[in-house]
A = this chain, B = another copy of it.
């Protein structure tokens, strides 16, 4: 059993902990939290040993009925590998600690590529991970782009990608961030930084991205266009997507035409936290114009799509499963994850 510590038990951390627990070959040795909160109660309800950075806060937790297992350094020591799910920028500060303790660690997309020196996607570079002490799961948006670009590149060759990303403003449980009634260019310059982030995993891809923020809470929406190298058809493209275990096709018959309806569907399907781990590609939108110009809309669940990637990355870095397809299969099966169709 691989012993996993989850540093930062928030939106990503709580999902990683549950996904790790669901796997047959790994376990959570502890999660870390900085203050008493709803998340801390959830950690208790799940039975995860709870560690804190500042033991001076122990009394506050205990007053709230939450037991503290120790300080975070004790948690790191008990682990084979640490998933760092702290807020963006904090991971960089944590790296020296992991280094000092000689522990492997996985960072999230809020950190720069340089923090880990290696950016991961299970379908692209699983086998390289074993050589690295640190890895970084690219952001939710980049993960969603990497999956669709890589699979079309393998099948038809990709000449150029143009993607407009209409991003959700805040996570559903975040009541501070806005905007309330605005479409915000973020950044207002073109291209955005997302293309170069994709290039940390897929260096040879020619990509231009544009990004804006809109007042929604569930899932980014991507409008994607690719110039393909080989001629193809809509049916062939759909087939390629159906063969990818982390691409879901939102069937036209469902009548689903938005991220909100897709979330309702995932919730009705009893997905934990309504998580959509796969890319949600709208069947109706898939188009091939003039033989080589591909278009589609895809919805990307900002809280969820990186979760199975974290799980695979653990195995990849620990070297316990050598074959990427085997790890992906194990991860998906443990999550009881059949792609939405």
Binding site for B on A (CB under 8 A): 14, 36-39, 41-42, 45, 64-65, 162, 164, 166, 168-170, 172-191, 208, 210, 212, 214-219, 221, 223, 225, 252-261, 263-265, 267-270, 272-274, 282, 284-287, 289, 293, 295-297, 299
Contact = CB atoms under 8 A, between A and B. Distances in A.
Given A183-B259, A185-B285, A254 B37 contact: yes
Q: Do most interface residues of chain A lie in helix, strand or loop, or is the interface mixed? A: mixed
Contact of A166 (B166, B186, B268): B166
Nearest to A283: B188
Given A38-B264, A38-B268, A267-B273, A183 B254 contact: no
A296 B170 CA distance: 25
A166 B210 CA distance: 12
A170 B281 CA distance: 25
Given A180-B215, A183-B214, A273-B267, A191 B287 contact: yes
13 contacts: A41-B265, A65-B253, A178-B178, A182-B216, A182-B259, A183-B259, A183-B299, A186-B257, A188-B282, A189-B284, A190-B285, A191-B289, A274-B274
A119 to B, nearest CB: 24
A41 B252 CA distance: 12
Contacts of A166: 166, 183, 212, 214
